[in-house]
Amino acid sequence: MKLSHIAVMAGMSLLLVGCGYNGVASSKDVTSSISMSQPDSGLAISKYLNTIMQSTSSLDAMLTEMIQPQVTPTASQYDALSEQTQNVITDTSLNIEYIDGQNVASVLQTKKELALSDAKNFKSVLQDIVVACRNRDKNALTQAYGNYQTMISAMQSDSSTLNN
């Protein structure tokens, strides 16, 4: 009886030792080399572009009001616009990183690069808005708003072509 208990105990200990080995040697991370399918790639980048554009909703109203010919923006309006624009710049920067990090299907690589370029150009326009606010320069703000609209249109175009 004692011999059978010893055999069972030895067998159990071998099983427990075996459970600790997962059979996987240290392997290199291959997720960075995995490419998403074309529809998934397009949707992911389109999502990031749309997030950038949605983050600007509060800027539109502020900008259109401040550039009206009959309006003389106040210092507090410039400060509020500058602060809001800084928030959008932060969001845009994050989404640029996400777009850049996408490993897209090869057929979408050119579209990804265009979307990335337009997002970076949009960030530059946002920085122009901040500079115009700091300088209290309505003419520069009006010019930046024209560029802002152009870049919004470009990103909308990018977003729609990524899904086709």
Q: What is the mean pLDDT of the chain?
A: 82
Confirm whether pTM is higher than 0.85.
no
118 burial via Cβ count (<10 Å: 0-12, 13-18, 19+): buried
Q: Specify the fold of 36-162.
A: Four Helix Bundle (Hemerythrin (Met), subunit A) (1.20.120)
Helices (H) and strands (E) in the chain, counts: 6, 0
- For residue 82, CA distances in Å to 63, 76, 129 come to 11, 10, 7
pLDDT over 50 (residue 26): no
Rounded CA-CA distance 76/147 in Å is 23
pLDDT recorded at residue 9:
53
